């Protein structure tokens, strides 16, 4: 079956299969036109997917590391050779992402499959220094079985590849539960997995009920989730009830500090991307700005000038700022901005629906000044194109307020002072710290948050370990009776009142 956006389907490698449930229209957030239709998986489709994954994994886990790596390199080759124009256009029309960002995300996933192909080949266990002569003692890593990947809408392909590549490399089968808002583009992308063994990768559309069914199944064994804090907590609880390991990336409200030693032109340019990339719908978007008093006014002027130059519009046009993903997402942003203004903040830019874009879920990139740490926009995750700026007296106050949050995903600093850079890296309570270059990642370094922003890590060696379990092995190649085995010799006991005691 060839995939069509108008005919709901699920994917069990290498085939698309039709779905029988009630259709739900997919709406373009820029035009409010219908893009296609999706259907939530029913019990039969979930069962078929689990059956195929279980069968495939039984063979995949036995494959030697070199052969498994060859398969992952074949996926990377397919990514590099594919024409993703249609997939990127679907993503733009589903969730509003500007086309250059959509095609870039979709086309640039090959390196993560190559990284984990070789990582798994290189690191299969550890030989420990023996505790006993004649004994070979080591740890080996083995797959869990079938992993579930619950994906967000903002980077539906990239973040899926991060965890799927690691899980496959570890020897698992993978079931992907895409975000409802980006189901069509995720399904379209599944063709890159066709070189893998039958049933090893699946994509099963649906909402929270589908995710719950996959998590609760006895035939799944590990879970990767990216999404809101509330949903992340629910996933973590569901996994804990079943003693099922999980990796949770739950977003946050990232701080960005502008030091009095900041390179202001660079800081202003970097802050525009940090705050407004993907219309602020990035887990690591800079939402809370702490700007030292000495440079506050100059920074705001530069930041505002660059922000006003951003183009708002349909992601298929020449634009940086597309729509928010839904009406509800925009309503939350508007609530938080309006609340801040009501409590004394000032909108230097934005703060409104653009007059030229009344159709769709657009909102102007917004810079707020006069923000105080007690405002709701500082305490909650906004997840929209808003930079809330708090004026602070010095670097120390900036660090303190940056840490005054239930979240701890990432944190950014602009400074040319080496001592401040190192102090920020040490003192900021976040899983990632960027100095003078926000938002970038590295396949070889762990990605994830502290506090309410998540559990576990993606990428790097920790990202691989999240999908495999260790087994301690002790082999005595010269079998011998050990002196500590039962029964104990009499000399090990002491006499006491005519009775023997250990």
* Structure tokens belonging to residue 417: 């002072």
| Pair of tokens at residue 80 | 């590099």
> CB of 82 within 8 A of CB of 109?
no
Rounded to 10 deg, the angle between the 229-241 and 208-216 helix axes is 30
- Which single residue is written with the structure tokens 């039969």? 44
For the question of residue 94 being annotated catalytic, the response is no
Q: What does the alpha-carbon distance between residue 49 and residue 202 come to, in Å, rounded to a whole number?
A: 7
Q: Which of 49, 321, 340 is nearest to 177 (CA)?
A: 49
| Rounded CA separation 296/364 (Å) | 22
* 3-state class (DSSP) for residue 272: helix
For 189, the token pair is 């992308």
Contact 381, 281 (CB under 8 A): no
Q: Which residue blocks in 82-207 are alpha helix, DSSP H? A: 85-95, 99-107, 110-122, 158-170, 183-189
249 is annotated as an active-site residue:
yes
C-beta of residue 121 within 8 angstroms of C-beta of residue 76: no
d(CA 30, CA 102): 15
Q: Say if CB 28 and CB 184 are below 8 A apart.
A: no
Spatial contact of 344 and 373, defined as CB atoms under 8 Å apart: no
Decide if 265 contacts 258 (C-beta within 8 A): no
Structure tokens at 495: 């006499």
Backbone φ, ψ for residue 482 (5° rounding): -85, 145
Identified catalytic residue from 249, 320, 364, 458: 249
Please tell me which residue in 239, 283, 382, 390 is annotated as part of the active site: 283
How far apart are alpha carbons 136 and 468 in whole angstroms?
Answer: 22
Question: Which DSSP symbol is given to 182?
Answer: G
Query: Whole-angstrom Cα distance, residue 175 to residue 224?
Result: 10
Q: Tokens 């035939």 appear where?
A: 219
351 is written with which tokens?
A: 């703060």
Q: Which residues contact 372 (CB under 8 A, 6 or more apart)?
A: 343, 344, 345, 378, 390
- Residue 382 near residue 332, CB atoms below 8 Å: yes
Distance, in Å, from the CA atom of 428 to the CA atom of 410, rounded to the nearest integer, reads 9
Residues marked as catalytic: 249, 283
């Amino acid at each position: 079956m060839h995939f069509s956006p108008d005919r709901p389907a699920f994917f069990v490698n290498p085939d698309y299969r039709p779905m029988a449930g009630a259709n739900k229209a997919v709406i373009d957030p820029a035009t409010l036109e219908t893009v296609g239709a999706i259907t939530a998986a029913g019990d039969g489709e979930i069962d078929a997917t689990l059956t195929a994954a279980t069968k495939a994994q039984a063979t995949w886990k036995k494959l030697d590391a070199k052969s498994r790596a060859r398969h992952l390199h074949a996926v990377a080759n397919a990514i590099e050779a594919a024409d993703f124009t249609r997939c990127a256009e679907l993503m733009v029309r589903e969730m509003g992402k500007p086309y250059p960002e959509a095609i870039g995300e979709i086309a640039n996933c090959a390196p993560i499959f190559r990284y984990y192909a070789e990582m798994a080949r290189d690191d299969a266990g550890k030989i420990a220094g023996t505790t006993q002569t004649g004994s070979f003692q080591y740890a080996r890593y083995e797959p869990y079985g079938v992993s579930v990947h619950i994906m967000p809408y903002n980077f539906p392909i990239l973040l899926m590849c991060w965890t799927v590549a690691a899980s496959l490399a570890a020897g698992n089968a993978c079931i992907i539960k895409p975000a409802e808002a980006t189901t069509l583009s995720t399904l379209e992308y599944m063709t890159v997995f066709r070189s893998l063994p039958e049933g090893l990768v699946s994509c099963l559309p649906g909402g929270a009920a589908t995710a719950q069914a996959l998590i609760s199944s006895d035939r799944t064994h590990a879970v990767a989730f990216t999404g809101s804090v509330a949903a992340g907590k629910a996933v973590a609880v569901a996994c804990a009830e079943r003693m099922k390991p999980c990796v949770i990336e739950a977003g946050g409200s990232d701080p960005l500090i502008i030091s009095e030693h900041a390179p202001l032109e660079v800081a202003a340019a970097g802050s525009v991307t940090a705050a407004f990339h993907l219309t602020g719908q990035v887990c690591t978007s800079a939402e809370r700005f702490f700007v030292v008093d000495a440079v506050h006014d100059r920074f705001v002027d530069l930041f505002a000038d660059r922000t006003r130059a951003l183009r708002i519009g349909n992601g298929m046009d020449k634009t940086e700022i597309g729509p928010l993903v839904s009406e509800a997402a925009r309503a939350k942003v508007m609530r938080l901005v309006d609340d801040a203004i009501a409590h004394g903040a000032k909108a230097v830019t934005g703060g409104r629906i653009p007059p030229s874009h009344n159709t769709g879920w657009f909102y102007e990139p917004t810079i707020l000044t006069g923000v105080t740490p007690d405002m709701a926009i500082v305490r909650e995750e906004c997840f929209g194109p808003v930079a809330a700026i708090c004026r602070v007296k010095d670097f120390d106050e900036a660090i303190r307020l940056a840490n005054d949050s239930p979240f701890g995903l990432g944190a950014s600093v602009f400074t040319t002072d080496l001592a401040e850079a190192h102090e920020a890296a040490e003192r900021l309570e976040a899983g990632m710290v960027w100095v003078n270059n926000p938002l970038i990642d590295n396949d070889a370094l762990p990605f994830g948050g502290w506090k309410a922003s998540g559990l576990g890590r993606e990428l790097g060696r920790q990202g691989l370990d999240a999908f495999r379990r260790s087994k301690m092995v002790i082999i005595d190649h010269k079998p011998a009776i050990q002196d500590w085995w039962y029964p104990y010799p009499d000399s090990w006991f002491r006499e006491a009142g005519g009775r023997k005691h250990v």
